[in-house]
Structure 1
Amino acid sequence: MAEVNVQDLPDRAVVAIGSYAAIGDSFTEGVGDPGPDGSCVGWADRLAVLLDQGRPPGEFRYANLAVRGRLLDRIVEEQVPRAVRLAPDLVTFAAGGNDILRPGTDPDEVADRFEKAVVALTAAAGTVVVATGFDTRGVPVLRHLRGRIATYNGHLRAIADRHGCPVLDLWSLRALRDQRAWSEDRLHLSSEGHARVARLAARVLGADVTPDPDQPWPLTIPVAPADVRRENIRWAKEYFVPWIGRRLRGESSGDNAEAKRPELLPL
């Protein structure tokens, strides 16, 4: 990742991380950040590259168990036991967002199930990083769920405190409030959005990473209100209506998908 520099990776806490397993849904799989071959890259892959920098070839190992569309229960059933078996030095755990988006879901109950998974992970892994949900204040439709997401985030921070887990605080990452941090579907991060999250995660782990993940975006020319409305209509037809349709049919984009990197392997 050419835009990222690690100035002080020999920090002891970072060097002690010789293996990393990422678990979660489309956010951690990397949807919205396509690689040269069309596959997903994403913040977790980018974080693995940062953690691998400066090491002898093959010393650092990485697995990405995340699958798009997964609800928390399926993540706990499929991914958490595999991460426990792998017993890596580091696990990042971002899950529950798809549950919170569904009508009638109780954030308190989702958080209880999340904490049980954290207990299992912390018993097997050296460090478990807990990721919060995004601040959706500027996201069409999802802005109405902001209160539920904030409630869930409050639980996640309390869970992290109780179990000694570092927090990847996505709610407070102001750079993600800019439209350029999001892909065309407005549901997943763009490549630059994923890159900023990777840099924030590296900082949470103690690495001195530049540039600042929260640095301001370049100024742009304001878009006319009429153009904004036309773009919103196009987005609704191409992305939002199909997304709602899948929810009503009980379908997911990842129903038949598998983890892209199920084993701890060198980069």
Structure 2
Amino acid sequence: MTRYVAIGDSFTEGLGDTLPDGSERGWADLVAAGIAAGEGHPISYANLAIRGRLLEPIVTDQLDAALSLSPPPTLLSLNGGGNDMMRPGGDLKRLVAMTEKAVRRCLDAGVEVLLLSGADPSGHLPFGSRMRPKGEELTRAVAEFAGQEGVTFVDMFHDEEIQQRHYWSADRLHLNANGHRRVAGVVLDALGYATEAHVVAPPVSARRSLAAEAQFYREHVLPWINRRLRGRSSGDDRTGKYVDWTPVPA
């Protein structure tokens, strides 16, 4: 039986794909369901991702918990580094080194690894042009390492379709339901479960009004800046949504 565990930040937690009950679904949940459907029998699934997490706690705390699951996982997905790149400075070589160490640790434990680069939000964000080169460099380095190790790598950073505005939430940083569905389709196809990547037609083009821009800064940018100034994170005091094996029916 497949036992799939996902570790990461808000991208993997599923922020933006909000269900009617207020819970977050996201691409990893959809991938778990897709694997179960493709295999024709239930699988076990855990999701330890927490919004706002930097890469270091992902590849230490979350990875420790993932590899400690009983029975152990057969497949682990890893994405991280986006929150690191949004902060001033940052050592990209260190991010790559931490990713490599985490992957080798999984491979040594006999766990199949799926690496993902997150979708590129920089075209929608203030000062996004400063973020894009960091994302390019990190994606290129991780892709090279994944190729050398024979690890499945999904490059969503360069997916041009998902960069369009209608795949993103109101905060312009997290994918919406359509964005998460697209990631899930690409991932399932990369894992060998033939799946078409989700595509939606763009809405009628409309320029953002000054009032809409003011609302965006008031509701999303300023709270983010306030958390940074207070040394807080949106994921403080949170745990992963599925910290133990959860059955996913076929």
Letter in 2 for 1:135: D
Q: Give matches, 1:1-267, under 5 Å.
A: 18-53=2-37, 59-86=42-69, 87-141=72-126, 142-210=128-196, 212-213=197-198, 215=199, 217-224=200-207, 227-267=208-248
Note the C-alpha offset of 1:56.
Answer: 5.9
Q: Distance in 2 between matches of 1:220 and 1:41?
A: 24
Please say which of residues 111-120 and 198-207 is displaced more in the overlay: 111-120
For the residues of structure 2 that align with 1:104 and 1:38, how far apart are their CA atoms? 35
Q: In 1, distance between residues paired with 2:181 and 2:239?
A: 23
Q: Structure 1 residues 260, 125: CA separation in 2 closer, same or farther (over 3 Å shift)?
A: farther
Is the CA contact (8 Å cut-off) linking 1:136 and 1:145 kept in structure 2? no
1:22 and 1:65 in contact (8 A); partners too: yes
Stretch deviating more after TM superposition (135-144 or 250-259): 135-144
Equivalent residues of 1:83, 1:121 under 8 A apart? no
Let me know the Cα RMSD of the aligned residues. Answer: 1.7
Mapped to 2, the partners of 1:199 and 1:125 lie a distance apart of 25
Name structure 1 gaps, 5 residues minimum.
1-16
Contact kept in structure 2, 1:84 and 1:125, CA below 8 Å: no
The AA in structure 2 aligned to 1:126 is: V
Q: How far apart, in 1, do the equivalents of 2:234 and 2:122 lie?
A: 25
Q: TM-score, normalised by structure 2?
A: 0.92
Give, as a single letter, the amino acid of the residue that structure 1 aligns with 2:244: E
What is the CA–CA distance in structure 2 between the aligned matches of 1:135 and 1:261, rounded to whole Å?
26
Is 112-121 or 194-203 further displaced after alignment? 112-121
How many Å separate the matches in 2 of 1:219 and 1:153?
A: 27
Structure 2: distance between partners of 1:134 and 1:147: 14
Kindly tell me: are residues 45 and 130 of structure 1, through their superposed partners in 2, closer, same or farther at Cα, counting changes over 3 Å? same
Distance in structure 2 (CA, Å) of the matches to 1:228 and 1:122: 50
Query: What is the letter of the counterpart of residue 172 of structure 1?
Result: H
Q: Deviations over 1:150-208 (max 9, x none)?
A: 11111111221222111111112222111111111111110110011011100110111
Quickly say closer, same or farther: Cα 1:62–1:38, change in 2 above 3 A.
same
Percent identical among aligned pairs is: 36
- Shift of residue 137 of structure 1? 4.4
- Secondary structure at 1:264 match in 2: strand
Q: Which runs of 5+ in 2 are unaligned?
A: none
For the Cα contact (< 8 Å) 1:136–1:143, is it kept in 2? no
One-letter identity of the residue aligned with 2:131: L
- Distance in 2 between residues matched to 1:177 and 1:107, nearest whole Å: 23
- Residues 166, 202 of structure 2: 8 Å contact kept: no
* Mapped partners of 1:76, 1:137: distance in 2: 24
- Matched-pair contact (CA < 8 Å) for 1:32–1:40: yes
The answer to whether the Cα contact below 8 Å between 1:96 and 1:114 also exists between their aligned partners in 2 is no
Judged with a 3 Å threshold, the aligned counterparts in structure 2 of structure 1 residues 56 and 140 are, in CA distance, closer, same or farther, namely closer
- How far has the Cα of 1:219 moved from its partner? 4.3
Q: CA deviation at 1:134?
A: 2.6
Q: CA 1:107/1:228 → structure 2, altered by over 3 Å: closer, same or farther?
A: farther
The CA deviation string for residues 1-20 of structure 1, in whole angstroms up to 9 with x for no partner, is xxxxxxxxxxxxxxxx6110
CA distance in 1, matches of 2:152, 2:60: 23
Contact 1:22 1:28 in 2 (8 A): yes
